[in-house]
Structure 1
Amino acid sequence: MFDQINGLPVHALVLHAAVVFVPLLALVAAVYAVMPRWRSKIGWAAVLLAIAAPVTTFVAKESGEKLYDRLKASGMTGPALEKIDTHSGFGTTTFYFTFALAVATLVMVFLTLRTTDKRLPRAADVLLAVVVLALAVVSGYYVFRTGDSGAQAVWGTTS
């Protein structure tokens, strides 16, 4: 399922979705967290991205593991395989932080849906906003590190 489609690695086909959806989730979640007056306008986008980002990140991670297994079985060794190991570690971390951001975003959206002015009690609103903002920053950082390490593994020079 995560290996190939029409002879092409699934990883090469789906990784771009994660590269788009994770930063979009981080941005929309951050705006939702700090701009209560915009919540009614962007809540639907936050929910959709909170579903799409972790799903695409999971598929990219799983398909990357299948591609790794295929490369290793073909006899790849040395520095190239080490770069892919590093990339894989970043990919796993990206998935975990993206999943956490998605959960925190969904919690915030569903809790604010229950209020008429889309605000929670001050302490809860601030706490959730801080959690969402922190997870957004970390998710953005790790999606960048994952993408950069993958690009370096494929296109970088081997030394």
Structure 2
Amino acid sequence: MESTIAGLPAHILLVHGVVVLVPLTALGLVLVAVWPAARVRLVWPTVVLAAVTLALVPVTTEAGEWLEHRLPRTPLIRAHTELGDGLLPWAAGLAVVAVVVAVRHVVAVRAARRVPATAGGGAPEVPAGTAPGGTVATVVVAVLAVVVAVGAVVTTVRIGDSGARAAWTGQVAEQPLGGSQGETDRG
């Protein structure tokens, strides 16, 4: 399968989506796992983000493998590709924990609907402890969410750093090269 977009290696374009979506998904996951008010509004967008992220990671990795076979073998590229293979489990973790939070949220909302409406006549609030497993499970899921989110973001940063080093080490001059735009004549 050819892995180019408009003549450019797809990996260098797709990687931007991963670099944005992994931290965004991680942030959303932590918010919905630890903050009930955020959960009400953001649980479904977080699940969608996690699913898109989970789908994008292997596509980006595959495009990276395509590119790897068209570049000279260097230790920096080898290090980058080895690190790159480690992101999929973290993306899967984000997706699984997001689904767990969503399922617990749905169960809690259904349990709250069985409770009589509040005096104001509005929708019933989700009482604490109505999610499956109660408070202990809520804390465990929140801790899991934070661990997976931090792991995913740290792994993404490490992969990105190694990729930037592989692409740019030895490519940038220490001093400005003559003839570049914006350079003024100081003589």
Q: Report the TM range for the smaller structure's normalisation.
A: 0.7 to 0.9
Higher RCO (CA-CA < 8 Å; seq separation 6+): 1
Give 1:123 deviation, angstroms. 1.3
User: Cα RMSD between the aligned structures?
Assistant: 1.7
Output the CA distance in 1 between the equivalents of 2:57 and 2:2. Answer: 12
2:99 to 88, 102, 106: 106
1:130 matched to 2:143? The reply is yes
1:86 matched to 2:99? The reply is no
1:47 matched to 2:60? The reply is no
SS at match of 1:11: helix
Q: Which residue of 2 aligns with 1:65?
A: 65
1:97 matched to 2:90? The reply is yes
Output the CA distance in 2 between the equivalents of 1:107 and 1:88. Answer: 31
Output the CA distance in 1 between the equivalents of 2:84 and 2:106. Answer: 32
1:145 matched to 2:154? The reply is no
SS at match of 1:25: helix
Output the CA distance in 2 between the equivalents of 1:2 and 1:85. Answer: 21
Q: Number of paired residues?
A: 151
Give the helix-richer structure, 1 or 2.
1
Q: Which residue of 1 aligns with 2:34?
A: 34
Give 1:2 deviation, angstroms. 5.7
Q: Which residue of 1 aligns with 2:11?
A: 11
CA deviations 1:126-149 (Å, max 9, x no partner) are 111111110000100000001111
Give 1:156 deviation, angstroms. 2.0
Structure 1, unpaired ranges of 5+: none
AA paired with 2:88? F
> Could you say if the C-alpha distance between residues 101 and 2 of structure 1 is closer, same or farther in structure 2, counting changes exceeding 3 Å?
farther
Taking every aligned residue pair, what percent have the same amino acid on both sides? 34
Contact 1:2–1:59 (CA under 8 A) maintained in structure 2? no
AA paired with 1:58? P
Structure 1 length normalisation: TM-score?
0.88
AA paired with 1:129? A
> Could you say if the C-alpha distance between residues 122 and 2 of structure 1 is closer, same or farther in structure 2, counting changes exceeding 3 Å?
farther
AA paired with 1:108? V
Contact 1:3–1:66 (CA under 8 A) maintained in structure 2? yes
Q: Which runs of 4+ in 1 moved over 6 A?
A: none
Contact 1:58–1:95 (CA under 8 A) maintained in structure 2? yes
Give 1:18 deviation, angstroms. 0.3
SS at match of 1:114: helix
SS at match of 2:108: coil
